[in-house]
């Protein structure tokens, strides 16, 4: 027999093998579909029954019947649960699973390296939702289940996973397979040892994107999985380059935590904080798809106003909220030196620490801490009072006062009882000292105390024991001028919230257990310090990229202070994501070139190898030409099938101008007067850079980045980096005059 014949028979054998493997997978898929179909039918019947019952209760509802009211509430909640479960099952019907892992459990590893005892063999299918045939027979494992981490973490070979009971289970992974399933039919499957990860990923990444963040459960990468599955008992800080999946990972992490820590974590105690409404709507759009409901989502400003429980009449314009981008200026660098120093001060830890120092003093002016001599005896010594205050340091002033008053009264009662005084006498004595440490104040004048604090910053003598740095006089004057002129920003709001927390007990602060901050680098470290003081038992998932800090003076340009001074380097975790999934290699390289001009530390970008067209830079000679060229580019991109397109401008003012002119030439999505109220939609959107943060578009046209709009500074490099990295497939640049040096 010649070699050729041998190869031929092997090929036939291999082909047969593949065919029967394919048939086995089709069989498995069919079986799963049948079970899900059965579950769907059972749930539909149950839902119809519950709906009928709640309807009947609703029809007979009478407000004076509390029992009926309770039943109705329970019925409605059951109905919602069933509806959600049915929706999940209907989706699972079309695509029951995406992965399969075959593994053998190995015995416990002995310390002296004795041989491992082989255990059972498993073949598990992993899906977006778990599917069971009965209460004991699981057909598809939920992607969030502990064992499913093997699918994300390991390649074929030995590995392990953490059981729900905290044991490390050692396994030998024999097969890791990913499926493509469409409308309940098997389209294809790939085994990890056959197809390279990047090659597989590019199949997903080449597609056009929706106007809601997508779920990535079939392609979560190992380094992302580590973050998603980290425990909620400590905080997690993630530095990730643009497009590395920070936001996506954060949303999947919420889903993972709520699924695995049901008993301890409630979705309504989770808060997602983002920089604007459009971003929040975009990122949280994925949550129902990830089986997450009832999460709070707010901008930082909204969150603080909610905690303050007073709106400073922002709507009535009693106070004006200063937004760094609302002004109609072209360049960030036009601010005066003092204004820049003020911004830096507000974002720094020195600011909030000075307030902390001031409030420690303020507290002592209210709480009398001197020996209390009663009937000739020192019944409450200064030392005792001070010790008490240091033990209950975290408690608000009003609570400290209450506790001290109570303690003093019991001492007075005791002295009188020992002296065998009449009841009436005791009661008179107790009344005399009732408010010795101060009366319970229902409402504090936060604005006045804050202003007094601002004034105090001029008094260097007062701060002689303060370990931080005080601002220059001019900076303090500007700070006070803004506040008395009723101009406030998120930093004032944060300080006022902290002030409120120090003075008064409030329930709102109790019900915050996990905070997820996206685009965290845009907020100064003082805000995080403040939040840490506000919520005693809260942990955080903080996602950001210092290279994308668009509030250069207030935001964070490194992670040092946050990691070392606000969070604990030992207890909390810091991760770095370096791979970029969003941009083509050409766009990523272009973005990296901008960063080469910078003096700040940058994190290297590793693009997933996906090629596209070169970045097009077009110089126009006149305004008419630039507008016509832009319209032509946008038209071509649309014809190429790109559904989301953005024209990115420098400022809000420029955005309005460009929008007005361009709309005469091509159909645009309408621009609202208040850009914060806009929604991310398909079509062509004209937006200022800061409003595109966190978003992504199939095609981006960067509007006129000339040398007068962007100077060669770190701040402007960050802005351009953000704009460039919004593009998934195509980036075009049109300009007039001299191109910004950062791009040349």
Ligand X SMILES: Nc1ncnc2c1ncn2[C@@H]1O[C@H](COP(=O)(O)OP(=O)(O)OP(=O)(O)O)[C@@H](O)[C@H]1O
Taking CB under 6 A as the criterion, the residue among 54, 219, 284, 699 binding ligand X is: 219
From edge to edge, which strands make up the β-sheet containing 727-736? Answer: 616-620, 727-736, 697-703, 644-649, 683-688
For residue 545, the minimal CB distance to ligand X (Å) is: 5
Distance between CA atoms of 180 and 218, rounded to whole angstroms?
10
Nearer to ligand X, 75 or 694 (CB): 694
Instruction: Report the largest interatomic distance among the alpha carbons of the chain, rounded to a whole angstrom.
Output: 119
By CB under 6 A, tell whether 668 contacts ligand X. Answer: no
How far is residue 256's CA from residue 145's CA, in Å, rounded to a whole number?
8
Cα(241)–Cα(725) distance, integer angstroms: 10
3-class secondary-structure state, position 574:
strand
Gap between the Cα atoms of 425 and 418, Å rounded: 13
Smallest distance from ligand X to CB 543, Å: 7
Exactly one of 72, 92, 216, 527 binds ligand X (CB under 6 A); that residue is: 216
Question: How far apart are alpha carbons 242 and 541 in whole angstroms?
Answer: 17
Q: State which residue, 447 or 522, has the beta carbon closest to ligand X.
A: 522
Among 115-123, 200-208, 327-335, 550-558, the segment contacting ligand X (CB under 6 A): 200-208
- Of 209 and 346, nearer to ligand X (C-beta) is 209
Q: Which is nearer to ligand X, 230 or 545 (CB)?
A: 545
Q: Residue 227 has what DSSP assignment? A: H
Q: How far is the CB of 200 from ligand X (least distance, A)?
A: 10
Q: Is 694 in the site for ligand X (CB under 6 A)?
A: yes
Binder of ligand X out of 586, 696, 716, 730 (CB under 6 A): 696
State which residue, 709 or 725, has the beta carbon closest to ligand X. 725
Helices first, then strands: H and E counts in the chain: 22, 24
C-beta nearest to ligand X: residue: 245
The answer to whether 581 and 205 have CB atoms below 8 angstroms apart is yes
Tell me the closest approach of the beta carbon of residue 46 to ligand X, in angstroms.
Answer: 35
Rounded (5°) CA angle 698-674-696: 15
Minimal distance in Å, beta carbon 726 to ligand X? 7
Least CB distance to ligand X at residue 96 (A): 20
Two tokens, residue 356:
């902390």
Report d(CA 430, CA 424) in Å as an integer. Answer: 10
Kindly tell me which residue out of 88, 177, 209, 650 binds ligand X, with binding defined by CB under 6 A.
209
- Nearest CB to ligand X, comparing residues 89 and 547: 547
Query: Least distance from C-beta 644 to ligand X, angstroms?
Result: 11
Position among 39, 89, 129, 224 found at the interface with ligand X (CB under 6 A): 224
Give the SS3 label for residue 277.
helix
Q: How far is the CB of 583 from ligand X (least distance, A)?
A: 9
Shortest distance, position 243 Cβ to ligand X, whole Å: 4
If the CB atoms of residues 349 and 587 are measured against ligand X, the closer one turns out to be: 587
Cα 4 to the center of its chain, rounded Å: 60
Cα 577 to Cα 558: distance, rounded to the nearest angstrom: 15
Inter-residue contact 471 to 345 (CB < 8 Å)? yes
Non-local (6+) Cβ contacts of 636 within 8 A are: none
Q: How many positions of this chain bind ligand X (CB under 6 A)?
A: 25
Query: What angle is formed at CA 430 by the lines to CA 425 and CA 432, rounded to 5 degrees?
Result: 100
Q: Which is nearer to ligand X, 201 or 525 (CB)?
A: 201
Please, which residue, 242 or 412, has the CB nearer to ligand X? 242
The 148-167 site mask, x for binding ligand X (CB under 6 A), equals --------------------
C-beta of 307 vs 722, nearer to ligand X = 722
Helix segments in 165-231, DSSP class H: 197-205, 222-228
Least distance to ligand X, CB of residue 680, Å:
12
Subset of residues 236 to 275 that bind ligand X, contact rule: CB under 6 A: 240, 242-248
State which residue, 72 or 101, has the beta carbon closest to ligand X.
101
Q: How far is the CB of 201 from ligand X (least distance, A)?
A: 6
Residues 44 to 63 in contact with ligand X, rule: CB under 6 A: none
The answer to whether 665 and 695 are in contact (CB under 8 A) is no
Q: What is the x/- site pattern for ligand X, positions 581-600, by CB under 6 A? A: xx------------------
List the one residue out of 49, 43, 48 whose CA is nearest residue 87.
43
> What is the x/- site pattern for ligand X, positions 625-664, by CB under 6 A?
----------------------------------------
Smallest CA-to-CA distance from 408 within 443, 442, 441, 368 is with 368
Q: Are strands 118-127 and 99-106 parallel, antiparallel or unpaired?
A: antiparallel
Q: Please name every residue paired with 583 in a beta bridge, in sequence order, or none if there are none.
A: none
The nearest distance, CB 230 to ligand X, in angstroms, is 16
99: number of Cβ within 10 Å: 24
Give the HSE-up count for residue 689: Cα atoms under 13 Å, Cβ half-sphere: 28
> Smallest distance, Å, CB 672 to ligand X?
22
Task: Give the 3-state secondary structure of residue 688.
Answer: strand
Query: Toward ligand X, which CB reaches closer, 500 or 690?
Result: 690
**Among the candidate windows 21-29, 32-40, 208-216, 732-740, which touches ligand X by CB under 6 A?**
208-216
Minimum CB separation of residue 154 from ligand X in Å reads 16
DSSP 3-state percent helix, strand, coil across the chain (nearest 5) = 45, 20, 35
User: Whole-number minimum distance, CB 702 to ligand X, in Å?
Assistant: 15
- Strand ranges (E), 197-336: 236-240, 270-274, 296-299, 320-321
Residue 128 touching ligand X (CB under 6 A): no
Q: CA distances (Å), 357 to each of 260, 386, 470, 724, in order? A: 41, 16, 12, 43
CA distance 154 to 222: 8
Specify the residue, 201 or 517, whose C-beta has the smaller distance to ligand X.
201
Instruction: Decide the pairing of beta strands 168-182 and 99-106.
Output: antiparallel
Question: How far is residue 742's CA from residue 724's CA, in Å, rounded to a whole number?
Answer: 12
Residue 116: its H or E element? none
According to CB under 6 A, which one of 129, 149, 154, 221 is a site residue for ligand X? 221
Work out which of 220, 228, 662, 684 binds ligand X, going by CB under 6 A.
220
Q: Which of residues 502-561 bind ligand X (CB under 6 A)?
A: 545, 548
Stretch that binds ligand X, among 103-111, 158-166, 204-212, 296-304 (CB under 6 A): 204-212
Q: Give me the least distance between CB of 252 and ligand X, in Å please.
A: 9
- Our CB check for ligand X shows the closer of 130 and 274 to be 274
Nearer to ligand X, 449 or 556 (CB): 556
Query: Contact positions toward ligand X, by CB under 6 A?
Result: 201, 204-205, 209, 214, 216, 219-221, 224, 240, 242-248, 545, 548, 581-582, 694, 696, 725
């Amino acid at each position: 027999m010649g070699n050729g014949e041998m190869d031929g028979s092997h090929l036939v054998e291999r082909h047969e093998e593949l065919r029967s493997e394919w048939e086995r997978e089709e069989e498995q898929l069919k079986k799963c579909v049948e079970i899900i179909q059965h579950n769907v039918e059972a749930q539909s019947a149950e839902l119809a029954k519950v709906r009928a019952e709640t309807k009947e209760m609703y029809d007979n509802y009478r407000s004076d019947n509390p029992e009926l009211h309770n039943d109705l509430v329970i019925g409605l909640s059951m109905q919602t649960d069933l509806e959600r479960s049915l929706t999940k099952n209907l989706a699972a019907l079309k695509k029951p699973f995406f992965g399969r892992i075959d593994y053998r459990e190995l015995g416990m590893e002995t310390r002296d390296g004795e041989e491992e005892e082989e255990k059972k063999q498993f073949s598990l299918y992993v899906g977006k939702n778990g599917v069971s045939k009965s209460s004991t027979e699981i057909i598809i494992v939920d992607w969030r289940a502990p064992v499913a981490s093997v699918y994300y973490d390991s390649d074929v070979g030995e590995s392990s996973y953490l059981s729900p009971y905290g044991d490390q289970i050692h396994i030998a992974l024999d097969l890791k397979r990913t499926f493509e399933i469409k409308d309940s039919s098997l389209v294809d499957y790939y085994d990890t040892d056959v197809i390279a990860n990047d090659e597989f990923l590019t199949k997903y990444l080449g597609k056009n994107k929706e106007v809601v963040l997508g779920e990535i459960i079939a392609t979560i990468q190992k380094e992302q999985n580590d973050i998603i599955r980290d425990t909620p008992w400590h905080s997690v800080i993630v530095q990730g380059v643009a497009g590395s999946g920070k936001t996506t990972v954060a949303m999947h992490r919420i889903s993972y935590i709520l699924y695995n820590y049901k008993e301890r974590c409630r979705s309504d105690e989770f808060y997602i904080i983002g920089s604007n409404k459009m971003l929040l709507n975009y990122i949280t759009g994925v949550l129902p798809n990830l089986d997450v409901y009832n999460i709070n989502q707010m901008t930082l400003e909204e969150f603080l106003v909610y905690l303050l429980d007073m709106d400073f009449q922002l709507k009535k314009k009693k106070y004006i909220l200063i937004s760094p981008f609302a002004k109609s200026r072209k360049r960030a660098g036009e601010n005066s030196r003092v204004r820049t120093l003020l911004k830096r001060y507000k974002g720094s830890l020195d600011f909030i620490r000075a307030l902390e120092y001031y409030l420690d003093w303020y507290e002592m002016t209210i709480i009398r801490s001197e020996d209390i001599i009663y009937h000739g005896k020192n019944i409450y010594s200064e030392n005792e009072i001070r010790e008490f205050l240091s033990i209950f340091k975290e408690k608000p002033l009003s609570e400290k006062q209450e506790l001290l008053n109570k303690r003093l009264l019991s001492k007075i009662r005791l002295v009188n009882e020992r002296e065998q005084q009449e009841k009436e006498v005791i009661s008179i004595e107790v009344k005399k000292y009732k408010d010795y440490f101060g009366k319970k104040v229902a409402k504090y004048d936060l604005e006045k105390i804050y202003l007094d604090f601002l004034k105090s910053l001029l008094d260097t003598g007062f701060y002689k024991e303060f370990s931080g740095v005080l601002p220059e006089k001019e900076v303090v004057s500007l700070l006070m001028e803004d506040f008395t002129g009723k101009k406030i920003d998120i930093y004032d709001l944060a300080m006022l919230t902290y002030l409120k927390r120090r003075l008064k007990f409030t329930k709102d602060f109790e019900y915050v257990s996990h905070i997820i901050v996206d685009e965290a680098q845009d907020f100064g470290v003082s805000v995080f310090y403040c939040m840490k003081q506000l919520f005693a038992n809260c942990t955080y998932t903080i996602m950001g990229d210092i290279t994308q800090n668009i509030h250069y003076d207030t935001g964070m340009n490194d992670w040092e202070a946050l990691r070392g001074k606000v969070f604990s380097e030992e207890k909390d975790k810091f991760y770095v994501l370096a791979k970029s999934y969003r941009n083509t290699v050409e766009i990523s390289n272009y973005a990296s070139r901008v960063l080469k001009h910078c003096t700040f530390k940058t994190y290297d970008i590793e693009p997933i190898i996906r090629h596209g067209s070169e970045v097009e830079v077009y110089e126009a000679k006149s305004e008419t030409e630039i507008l016509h060229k832009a319209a032509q580019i946008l038209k071509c991109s649309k014809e190429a099938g790109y559904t989301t397109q953005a024209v990115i401008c420098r400022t809000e003012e420029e955005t309005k101008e460009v929008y007005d002119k361009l709309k005469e030439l091509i159909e645009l999505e309408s621009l609202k007067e208040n850009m914060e109220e806009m929604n991310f939609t398909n079509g062509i959107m004209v937006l200022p850079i800061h409003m595109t943060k966190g978003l992504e578009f199939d095609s981006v046209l960067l509007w006129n980045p000339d040398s007068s709009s962007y100077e060669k500074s770190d701040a402007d490099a960050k802005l351009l980096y953000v704009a460039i990295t919004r593009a998934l497939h195509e980036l075009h640049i049109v300009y007039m005059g001299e191109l910004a040096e950062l791009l040349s």
